[in-house]
A = this chain, B = another copy of it.
Amino acid sequence: MKTFGKKAWVIAEGFIPSYGNGPKPEFESHETACILNTSNQKAQIEITIFYTNKDPVGPYKATVEAQRTKHLRFNELKDPEPVPKDTDYACVIESDVPVVVQHTRLDSRQAENALLSTIAYSE
């Protein structure tokens, strides 16, 4: 199969609610970057997080194996530091091979969950 995608993606909207309702982890409030690597080689991913009032943090590193998808939860990023809850952020996702990135949030702060999703911006 042909390799699909781009090497740089941007998600301008980020916010991890600090609480939620319903059994964890499936109903824990979370933001996810869904990354698909259709290529035949492992993708080395670098994520940089931007904030409103402080310098960018990163790169956070991840890998997506050849012909695999990874649904990366931002609340699982730990190194160099966890992404704070209840804080506006944005991110740039760079890869050494083309990938496709889609952004999803499950917000379970109220009794019923809410979902949003959009394709990220690519260059």
Residues on A lying within 8 angstroms of B by beta carbon are: 1-2, 4-5, 8, 10-15, 22, 26-27, 32, 34-36, 38, 48, 50-53, 55-56, 67-71, 88-90, 92, 100-105, 107, 109-123
- Please determine whether B116 and A113 come into contact, CB atoms closer than 8 angstroms: no
Determine how close the nearest CB of chain B comes to the CB of A72; give it in whole angstroms: 10
- Please determine whether A110 and B107 come into contact, CB atoms closer than 8 angstroms: no
16 A–B contacts, CB within 8 A, in A order: A1-B56, A2-B8, A5-B121, A12-B69, A12-B101, A12-B102, A12-B119, A13-B32, A52-B70, A55-B67, A69-B90, A71-B88, A103-B117, A107-B115, A109-B113, A110-B111
Q: A4-B121, A105-B115, A119-B118 are in contact. Are A12 and B100 (CB under 8 A)?
A: yes
Picked from B36, B55, B112, the residue with its CB within 8 Å of the CB of A114 is: B112
Determine how close the nearest CB of chain B comes to the CB of A74; give it in whole angstroms: 14
Picked from B1, B113, B118, the residue with its CB within 8 Å of the CB of A110 is: B113
Residues of B within 8 A of A110 (CB): 22, 27, 111-113
A26–B114 CA distance with the chains assembled, in angstroms: 14
- Please determine whether A112 and B115 come into contact, CB atoms closer than 8 angstroms: no
